Amino acid sequence: MTKTRYAIVGTGGRAEFFYGSMVKDFRDTSELVAICDINQTRMNFTNGLLANKYEYHAVPTYKADQFEGMIRQEKPDTIIVTTVDRTHHTYIIRAMELGCDVISEKPMTVDEEKCQEILDAIKRTGKQLRVTFNYRYAPHNTKIRELIMDGTIGDVHSVHFEWLLNTQHGADYFRRWHRDKRNGGGLLVHKSTHHFDLVNFWLGTQPETVFAMGDLMFYGKANAEKRGETKFYQRATGNAYAKEDPFALHLDSNPNLKGLYLDAEHEDGYQRDQSVFGDGISIEDTMGVMVRYKNKAILTYSLNAYLPWEGFSVNINGSKGRIEMKVVEKSYVNAGGEKADEGALEGKTITVFPMFAAPYQVEIEEGVGGHGGGDPVLLKDIFDKPSDDRFKRAASHVDGAMSILTGIAGNISLRTGQPVAVDKLVKF
């Protein structure tokens, strides 16, 4: 069997999700041939994990300015992009121009201009781009798709979707590069792309009009000062003020975080443990969105990043009844523990309320692994021969674009106070 040759650009916290599975579970079909990053220390740490944790050989390393040389030298079939979100388009486009297919971590990119550049490159090169929406593969989310496809509640008219990020995971977006909206498009793009994709996936439709409101209302120095805080610090590691702060992240207490970030700081100055109550935060932590879809369904959506528990609830109303789902997820910090703990479940329920019959609980398959059991299924779909999938969970570049365009339109609406027509943002 000919193995697919992969190279990964970006060796931060998300990269191990891909290369760890590739070299452990899919050696018969897949081969990691190179890694690329702006930071050599981080790549050296990655090679250490490959050797010591996964019993794989070290692979050639290339700095970011050697990306094209890496492709020419190592001849990968597919590039996996796990860099900072604002650079996704650069690597996606150049990889396709050099003859590679691409797998991109979500979000595909952060604004409409970069999205258009990617769409144009796909048309120009004929190469394929997949976006890794692991939540589609979680058994409970697939079950919602199945119930709607089977007409359980008839035609869907409205969805109310509330996502809760807690004071561990939610706070983490305000410690690191995500806190600058230029890097990830804010949580409406970086995080909500998962949620908007789920609605597109469940309903089999695309967004038409978006209106959003939101602000930074909890994190940031000004909000802390309003609550009476007087002790502040720039970063947590080694800072006395941070020792008793439940929001602090101490990089020196976690070998993985230390190796990936603290030990690598001398190269690029990136600090992974900034105070969530510092200055310089330009993303929102409290957001509400309304969306009308092309099938005329309406979504009301909220995202808050400082709540007491982690998870979501979704209520779907149709012409023949209603579906209610509640999911509680384990809390986690990216790259701070086992990958299987990211988005792992503590509880889940789906209840169907037929129009003229008694409500009933829906049996849900027990998934194993991160993101509600979706991670292992997604990884098999990527690195192994995919099987026929009635639910069509593999996400194309169109799916990737439609998920981010909801959040991008939301960001425009935040700035202008006006509803935004999604079809006017890009041309397919």
Q: Using CA atoms, how far apart are residues 119 and 84, in angstroms rounded to an integer?
A: 19
Q: Letter for the amino acid at 127? A: K
pLDDT of residue 336: 65
pLDDT of residue 341: 63
Q: Calculate the CA dihedral of residues 307, 308, 310, 315 and round it to 10 degrees.
A: -70
Q: Which helix (H) or strand (E) holds 5?
A: strand 4-9
Which of helix, strand or coil describes residue 194?
helix
Please identify which residue in the block is written with the tokens 């007491």: 308
Which of helix, strand or coil describes residue 145?
helix
Q: Calculate the CA dihedral of residues 191, 193, 199, 200 and round it to 10 degrees.
A: -170
262 CB-near residues (< 8 Å, 6+ apart): 237, 251, 252, 272, 273
CB 187 within 8 A of CB 303: yes
CB 18 within 8 A of CB 12: no
Determine how many CB atoms are found less than 10 A away from the CB of residue 255.
10
Q: Using CA atoms, how far apart are residues 54 and 19, in angstroms rounded to an integer?
A: 10
pLDDT of residue 331: 78
221 CB-near residues (< 8 Å, 6+ apart): 232, 277, 278, 279
Q: Calculate the CA dihedral of residues 185, 14, 172, 280 and round it to 10 degrees.
A: -40
Residue of 305, 281, 283, 293 lying closest to 162 (CA atoms): 305
Contacts 24+ apart (CB under 8 A), 265-271: 266/41, 267/38, 267/39, 267/40, 267/41, 267/42, 268/38, 268/39, 270/39, 270/177, 271/235
Q: Using CA atoms, how far apart are residues 153 and 147, in angstroms rounded to an integer?
A: 8
Strands (E), 281-408: 286-293, 298-307, 311-318, 321-329, 345-354, 360-361, 395-396
Determine how many CB atoms are found less than 10 A away from the CB of residue 227.
8
Q: Using CA atoms, how far apart are residues 380 and 25, in angstroms rounded to an integer?
A: 9
Which of helix, strand or coil describes residue 69?
helix
| Rounded-to-5 percentages of helix, strand, coil across the chain | 40, 25, 35
pLDDT of residue 385: 73
- CA 359 → CA 158, 205, 324, 328, 351, distances in Å? 19, 27, 10, 21, 7
93 CB-near residues (< 8 Å, 6+ apart): 117, 118, 121
Q: Tell me the whole-structure pTM to 2 decimals.
A: 0.94
Q: pLDDT (tens digit, 0 to 9) for every residue of the chain, 428 residues total?
A: 699 999 999 999 999 999 999 999 999 999 999 999 999 999 999 999 999 999 999 999 999 999 999 999 999 999 999 999 999 999 999 999 999 999 999 999 999 999 999 999 999 999 999 999 999 999 999 999 999 999 999 999 999 999 999 999 999 999 999 999 999 999 999 999 999 999 999 999 999 999 999 999 999 999 999 999 998 999 999 999 999 899 999 999 999 999 999 999 999 999 999 999 999 999 999 999 999 999 999 999 999 999 999 999 999 999 999 999 999 998 768 766 665 666 677 899 999 999 999 999 999 988 777 777 889 999 999 999 767 899 999 999 999 999 999 999 999 999 999 999 999 999 99
pLDDT of residue 52: 97
Residue of 263, 264, 305, 81 lying closest to 175 (CA atoms): 305
Q: What is the DSSP letter of 275?
A: -
Burial status of residue 231 (CB atoms within 10 A of its CB: 0-12, 13-18, 19 or more): exposed
